[in-house]
Amino acid sequence: MSSQPTRVLFVCLGNICRSPAAEGVFLDLLERENLNDAFEVDSAGTGNWHVGKRADPRMRAAAERRGIDLPSRARQIEPGDLNRFDWIITMDDSNLANVRALDPSGSSHDHIVPLTSHCSRHQASEVPDPYYGGEQGFEHVLDLLEDACSGLLKRLR
Ligand code: 4NP
């Protein structure tokens, strides 16, 4: 009998830079460890400006250079996601506050956690928004995501 997959939702503001990249990095790790069937992975944004769009071309190009595909389309998080997913993984303090605000009862708050809490090589409390910066910002985001996603997988597997 196979057990239920662990459901993980990565969340940022626009769902076109950080969270689709986190989704791609985590999926790439699952692929390499042959763990695809053990997880269901998705991403969403707290905002709705980019709904339906593919990830930002700069984020896709940076991920591509590391051999990681980012196929997801942006969507906005909805309150039902807090029950549908076992873990909601946020990129910055604002995402964390906005997602927690979707559940005023607080009953799901233990399952809403910052991705950077799983970093082992980097000391960071947030994955910074790269949208208005240069190319180096996208590389830095991927460095943080690779570190944190491997820590997250160690924790959840
Ligand atoms: P993300 O980056 O939250 O990592 O997807 C952003 C993308 C778009 C905007 C802000 C952040 N925006 O203001 O449109």
Give the gyration radius of the chain's Cα atoms.
14
Condensed to tens digits (0 to 9), the pLDDT of residues 9-60 reads 999 999 999 999 999 999 999 999 999 999 999 999 999 999 999 999 999 9
Condensed to tens digits (0 to 9), the pLDDT of residues 68-87 reads 999 999 999 999 999 999 99
The CATH number fitting domain 6-156, selected from 3.30.70.2190, 3.40.50.2000, 3.40.710.10, 3.40.50.2300: 3.40.50.2300
Name the residue ranges covered by the structural domains of the chain.
Answer: 6-156
Q: Is residue 103 a contact partner of residue 84, using CB atoms and an 8 Å limit?
A: no
The residue to mutate among 16, 59, 132, having the most atoms of ligand 1 within 8 angstroms of its beta carbon, is: 16
- Residue from 17, 18, 60, 119 carrying the catalytic annotation: 18
Angstrom CA distances, 83 to 19, 35, 39, 63, 125, stand at 19, 23, 16, 30, 25
Question: How many CA atoms lie within 13 Å of 145's alpha carbon, on the beta-carbon side?
Answer: 33
Identify the residue whose C-alpha is closest to ligand 1 atom 7: 14
Judge if the beta carbon of residue 16 lies within 6 A of ligand 1: yes
Q: What pTM was estimated for this model as a whole?
A: 0.98
